[in-house]
């Protein structure tokens, strides 16, 4: 789960990490008032669930409250497209107004869960502010990484080694050690999948400060934090993703025209590959998980049909825990319920597969059943022609 920069900064502030003075605004009039409060000259920052805003015009320094208001009107009126958003971009519903800080150096800093080592990993670089992926490609030796042992936690000597590698000496080094220890505590206590400060800066006045902040909470731990769901900004999510979330289904929007219902993430990936190989382009995929019920399958099917880009539906299910006739019943219930006119191709295998196939073929819907994955992929391509 993602949150906005201003929310992430509030959390960091609670851990004693210095952030610029700022105020979040919902209208251009509020932006003007907040800019006045900052003394006129300030930074206007569009709040969206994506980075790369600076290069896309979503972060700008203005000199007067009037300029801040003008810019806010423009940002509220359009969608912001950055290298991290879809080509459509994201609506801006909240704007952060911050004091304009004089920066002398920028660093990259993050703590993220490393699934391979099952540990938090601290990543730091003196090459901050810009594209960290580019630094990783062209100058990997400039990125410092530390795997944090969960039993000992981050030790001050380890944090000091990182701070020194970032080129910080004297009191700045000690400030950085304290900041790193606080950041680790934050990641742990708030169950973060990622806490990223890019850039962490040294100000002209000689202080460390988090100039940007990104926090992603670990979805598996949200139940431990009652306040998290209220922090969501629904304007940043695909409405179908929200519906899917309610039914505990994973829905991912893609750019083609074939809606895909699959059980299991691995099978989903394989299905997308095979469809691509046969020249079909997936519009989305919806993973109904291992033990879906008939109701869940029906809901998943309805979600796929609501995607306006979908011209045909491809179902690839392995009936292991699930039984194929239950899946068939769910598909028929949903497709018949909304009077689905679109072509549907089903490939299923596993428990009670013959019963499932027979139900589909007798349903009177525009359904074909594939012999195997390749045959099914060829059928959906042919039906869409
Ligand atoms: P993004 O990562 O989405 O591009 P940032 O918050 O990192 O957005 O802002 C982009 C750049 O703008 C930063 O690298 C920093 O140089 C500058 N910046 C951001 N906030 C401030 C601020 N309050 N004062 C001065 N410069 C800022
Ligand atoms: Mg940034």
**Exposure b/e, 284-293, CB count within 10 A at least 16 = b:** bbbbbbeebe
For ligand 1, atom 19, the nearest C-alpha belongs to 211
Q: What is the pLDDT of residues 246-256, one digit of tens each?
A: 888 889 989 89
**Residue 294: predicted pLDDT:** 82
Residues 70 and 114 in one domain: no
Residue 146 has pLDDT above 90, yes or no: yes
Any domain includes 60: yes
Average pLDDT over residues 271-281: 96
Give the integer Cα–Cα distance in Å for 342 and 347: 16
| Beta pairing class for 59-62 and 22-25 | unpaired
CA distances from 53 to 80, 85, 122 (A): 8, 10, 24
At 321, the pLDDT band (50, 70, 90 cuts) reads: confident
Residues 344 and 272 in one domain: yes
Residues 205 and 298 in one domain: no
Residue 130 has pLDDT above 70, yes or no: no
Identify whether 106 is a catalytic site residue.
no
For ligand 1, atom 14, the nearest C-alpha belongs to 129
The active-site residue out of 49, 108, 120, 251 is 108
Is the shortest distance between the CB of 98 and ligand 1 below 6 Å?
yes
CATH number of the domain bearing residue 74: 3.30.1490.20
Average pLDDT, whole number, for the chain? Answer: 93
Residues 243 and 348 in one domain: yes
What is the span of the domain harbouring residue 73? 21-99
Nearest-atom index, ligand 1, CA of 211? 20
Residues 67 and 109 in one domain: no
pTM for this prediction: 0.85
Number of domains in the chain: 3
Angle, CA of 115, 121 and 126, to the nearest 5°? 140
Of 240 and 147, more confident = 147
**Residue 246: predicted pLDDT:** 86
Give the integer Cα–Cα distance in Å for 4 and 360: 45
At 206, the pLDDT band (50, 70, 90 cuts) reads: very high
Give the integer Cα–Cα distance in Å for 266 and 343: 25
Q: What is the pLDDT of residues 70-114, one digit of tens each?
A: 999 999 999 999 999 988 899 999 999 999 999 999 999 999 999
Nearest-atom index, ligand 1, CA of 129? 14
Average pLDDT over residues 282-297: 85
Ligand 1 centroid, distance to 29 Cα (angstroms)? 23
Any domain includes 12: no
Ligand 1 centroid, distance to 227 Cα (angstroms)? 27
Task: Examine the fold and report which residue of 84, 99, 114 is the final residue of a domain before the chain moves on.
Answer: 99
Q: Contact, 351 vs 380, CB < 8 A?
A: no
Residues 52 and 114 in one domain: no
Average pLDDT over residues 323-351: 89
Q: Contact, 331 vs 346, CB < 8 A?
A: yes
Residues 35 and 86 in one domain: yes
Ligand 2 centroid, distance to 154 Cα (angstroms)? 24
Least confident of 23-37, 183-197, 211-225, 338-352: 338-352
CATH number of the domain bearing residue 164: 3.30.470.20
Least confident of 32-36, 62-66, 304-308: 304-308
Residues 150 and 91 in one domain: no
Residues 255 and 362 in one domain: yes
Is the shortest distance between the CB of 54 and ligand 1 below 6 Å?
yes
Identify whether 247 is a catalytic site residue.
no
Any domain includes 43: yes
């Amino acid at each position: 789960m993602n949150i906005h920069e201003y929310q992430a900064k509030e959390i960091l502030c609670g851990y004693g990490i210095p952030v610029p003075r700022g105020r979040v605004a919902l209208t251009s009039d509020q932006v003007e008032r907040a800019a006045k409060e900052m003394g006129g000259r300030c930074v206007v920052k569009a709040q969206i669930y994506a980075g790369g805003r600076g290069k896309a015009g979503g972060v700008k320094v203005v000199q007067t409250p009037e300029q801040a208001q003008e810019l806010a009107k423009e940002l509220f009126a359009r969608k912001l497209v950055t290298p991290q958003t879809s080509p459509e971009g994201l609506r801006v519903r909240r704007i952060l107004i911050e004091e304009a800080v004089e920066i002398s150096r920028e660093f990259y800093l993050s703590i993220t869960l490393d699934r391979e080592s099952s540990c938090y990993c601290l990543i730091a670089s003196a090459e901050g502010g810009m594209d960290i992926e580019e630094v990783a490609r062209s100058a990997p030796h400039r990125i410092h990484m530390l795997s944090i042992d969960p039993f000992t936690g981050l030790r001050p000597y380890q944090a000091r080694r990182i701070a020194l590698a970032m080129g910080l000496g004297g009191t700045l080094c000690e400030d950085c050690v304290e900041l790193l220890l606080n950041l680790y505590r934050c990641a742990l206590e708030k169950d973060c999948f990622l806490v990223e400060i890019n850039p962490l800066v040294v100000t002209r006045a000689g202080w460390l400060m988090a100039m940007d902040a990104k926090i992603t909470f670990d979805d598996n731990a949200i139940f431990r934090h009652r306040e998290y769901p209220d922090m969501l900004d629904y304007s940043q999510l695909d409405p179908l993703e929200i519906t899917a979330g309610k039914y505990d289904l994973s829905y991912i929007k893609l750019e083609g025209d074939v809606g895909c219902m699959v059980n299991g993430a691995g099978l989903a990936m394989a299905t997308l590959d095979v469809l691509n190989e046969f020249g079909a382009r997936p519009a989305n995929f919806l993973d109904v998980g291992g033990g879906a019920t008939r109701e869940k399958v029906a809901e998943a099917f309805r979600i796929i049909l609501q995607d306006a880009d979908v011209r045909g539906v491809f179902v690839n299910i392995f009936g292991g825990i699930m039984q194929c006739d239950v899946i068939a019943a769910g598909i028929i219930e949903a497709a018949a319920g909304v009077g689905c006119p679109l072509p549907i191709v089903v490939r299923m295998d596993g428990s009670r597969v013959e019963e499932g196939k027979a139900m589909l073929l007798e349903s009177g819907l525009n359904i074909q059943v594939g012999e195997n994955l390749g045959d099914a992929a060829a059928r959906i391509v042919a039906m869409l022609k």
